Structure 1
Amino acid sequence: MDSLADIKDVIRDFLAHANYKSPGSECDVELRTKLAAELALWPTDINPAVVSKILDGSCVYAETTYGHTTSQHRFFIALYTACLMYVDDLGERDLDAVMRFTGRFAKGEEQPNPVLNRLAGLLRQAHELWTQYGADAIIAGTLDAVTAMYVEYTAQALVIKPSATRFPYYLRTRAGIGPPYIHFVFMNSWRPTPQSYLQLLPYMEHWTLGTNLSFYKEELAGETNNYVHLRAAAEETSATDVLRELVNEVLETAGKMSVLTSQDPELAALWEKYFQGYLEFSLKAKRYRLAELGYQA
């Protein structure tokens, strides 16, 4: 484990340079009540304390990062997030169900688990809420992510070769669920086609996947199969040095986003909402434990 003091310093440096200004997102009581009713129907094979964390984390994410969307969109996003958090946990108990999710979805078959069935149903609703391109990306990205979750479980003992420097980002772009969460920003009622923001998408995804504000809690838990550690192994350097490099990369990407949106005030405002909302979520999410670094949302 790298020095936690150094890791704290890197994260503080990032937040300072990101010019975080809390949007002050409000708690969506209706959303939380509705999602709690859904989760009450979940199987009993998961610890109630974990369900409570899933409920809070999913709602905070929808309330902050996607607060500009309609209540229908926010509920979809919160439930989708809860389902994927469940799938990630399910791999410890029923890895076969995770492995076969994509195949069953493609064949239109019933999933062996009600939460997996709910996730499959959400994917079939995506075109009602997002553009054709956005919904396609949400569906494809979700299938990619569930497959990557399976790979992460089965490859935990994988030794990263020093020359495999592209592999950590390859796995991160799939397991990180980047495309769905980027396209959630752009409701179909905002603009009917993605042409005006198409060139921004890779930068938004790079910024989101590179921010890595979950790394602090992962380091506290002793996790070493995350992007930072995989990249450190491939590059033969320390996790702290990788984290510092990521800070530079995402800050540079944020600057690029400001340039790319400068001629479109509506798009610039939407990017700023997403940028600040994502940071607010990271600070509010109890599981990230960033309050221990002296930061409050």
Structure 2
Amino acid sequence: MVVIEKFVDCACDFAETAYGHISPEHLHYVALYTAIILYIDDLGGTHLDAIQQFVARFTRGDKQLSPALDTLVDLLRGAHQLWTQVGAEAIIAGTLDAVTAMYIECTTHEMEIKPDATWFPYYLRTRSGICPPYIHFIFMKSWRATSDSYLQMMPYMERWVVGANLSFHKEQLAGETKNYIHMRACAEQTTPNNVLRDLCDETLHSDRHILTLAGRDNELVELWQKYVQGTLEFHVNTRRYRLHELGLTTKGQEL
């Protein structure tokens, strides 16, 4: 019960910080979705069958092996009410991809990353990191009825999410090596520190590219900047990521 409370508290904090611009109904959706995703990530170590069978049961309309997964299915069925058609379908498809990727992560601990498999770490991270859903959550259907104005920015937004790998410090301290930076270092035959430096440059480049594509669409620029600031603020202020140990603090709206 204590663990579930921690998931809920973390999910609510994240939704309110990163998505403070969306309506209460949307916030409730994002918070509940996030709590379930955190639970699924934990479920991999205790009930792997539930994750393994999620997509097949979703496709057949069967009851899931965990009540939390049944709740996730209900959320996916309601996505079209809150987001555009493109957004809702990206949320659904991205969630199915994510659960599959989580299963892969749980069952491939001994898999060695081959040199020159340089696209695989990004391939896996965009899926397990649930990039498409969390980007589309930014844009409510009630804000704009279609996704035309920001659709071309999506690849760069997803790249930013991958690059803003703010759990790496915590994972490094815990001795974890099955993460994006270590897998990429193996594939590129370099060090994790070199990958981290490259990732910082790539993330800044993605952000600049997003702002260039947004052009004079000030509402779009504002939404993106609020999301970026909120995401950074959440990770800095949440002690589980241990970024405060690096002396990072938030002051007002500035990181």
Give TM class, smaller chain.
over 0.9
User: Displacement of 1:185 after TM fit?
Assistant: 0.3
| Corresponding residue for residue 101 of structure 2 | 148
User: Displacement of 1:49 after TM fit?
Assistant: 3.8
| Corresponding residue for residue 117 of structure 2 | 164
User: Displacement of 1:97 after TM fit?
Assistant: 0.8
User: Displacement of 1:277 after TM fit?
Assistant: 1.1
Partners in 1 of 2:238 and 2:7 — Cα distance?
10
| Corresponding residue for residue 91 of structure 1 | 44
| Corresponding residue for residue 192 of structure 1 | 145
Secondary structure of the residue aligned to 1:112 is coil
Check the 8 A contact 1:138/1:180 in 2, yes or no: yes
The yes-or-no answer on 1:259 pairing with 2:212 is: yes
Check the 8 A contact 1:123/1:139 in 2, yes or no: yes
Question: Structure 1 stretches of 5 or more lacking a match?
Answer: 1-47
User: Displacement of 1:293 after TM fit?
Assistant: 1.1
User: Displacement of 1:51 after TM fit?
Assistant: 2.2
Check the 8 A contact 1:131/1:187 in 2, yes or no: yes
User: Displacement of 1:271 after TM fit?
Assistant: 1.1
| Corresponding residue for residue 180 of structure 1 | 133
The yes-or-no answer on 1:137 pairing with 2:63 is: no
| Corresponding residue for residue 116 of structure 1 | 69
Greater CA deviation, 273-282 or 96-105? 273-282
The yes-or-no answer on 1:272 pairing with 2:225 is: yes
Check the 8 A contact 1:65/1:273 in 2, yes or no: yes
Amino acid at match of 1:74: L
> What is the alpha-carbon root mean square deviation over aligned residues?
1.0
Check the 8 A contact 1:57/1:286 in 2, yes or no: no
Given candidates 105, 127, 151, the residue that maps to 2:80 is 127
Structure having greater relative contact order (Cα 8 Å, sep ≥ 6): 1
| Corresponding residue for residue 288 of structure 1 | 241
Alignment of 1:96-107 (within 5 A): 96-107=49-60
Amino acid at match of 1:93: T
Amino acid at match of 2:241: Y
Identity of aligned residues (%): 56
Check the 8 A contact 1:60/1:284 in 2, yes or no: no
Which aligned runs of 4 or more in structure 1 are off by greater than 4 angstroms? none
Check the 8 A contact 1:258/1:268 in 2, yes or no: yes
User: Displacement of 1:257 after TM fit?
Assistant: 1.5
Partners in 1 of 2:182 and 2:245 — Cα distance?
22
Alignment of 1:44-59 (within 5 A): 48-59=1-12
| Corresponding residue for residue 77 of structure 1 | 30
Partners in 1 of 2:182 and 2:2 — Cα distance?
28
Question: What count of residue pairs does the alignment treat as equivalent?
Answer: 250
User: Displacement of 1:221 after TM fit?
Assistant: 1.1
The yes-or-no answer on 1:226 pairing with 2:176 is: no
Secondary structure of the residue aligned to 1:295 is coil
CA deviation vs aligned residue, 1:227-262 (integer Å, no higher than 9, x gap): 000000111111111011000000111111121112
Taking structure 2 as the reference length, the TM-score comes to 0.96
CA deviation vs aligned residue, 1:65-113 (integer Å, no higher than 9, x gap): 1000001101100110000111111011111110000110111110121
The yes-or-no answer on 1:68 pairing with 2:21 is: yes
Check the 8 A contact 1:217/1:288 in 2, yes or no: yes
Secondary structure of the residue aligned to 2:78 is helix
Amino acid at match of 1:90: L
Partners in 2 of 1:78 and 1:281 — Cα distance?
13
Question: Structure 2 stretches of 5 or more lacking a match?
Answer: 251-255
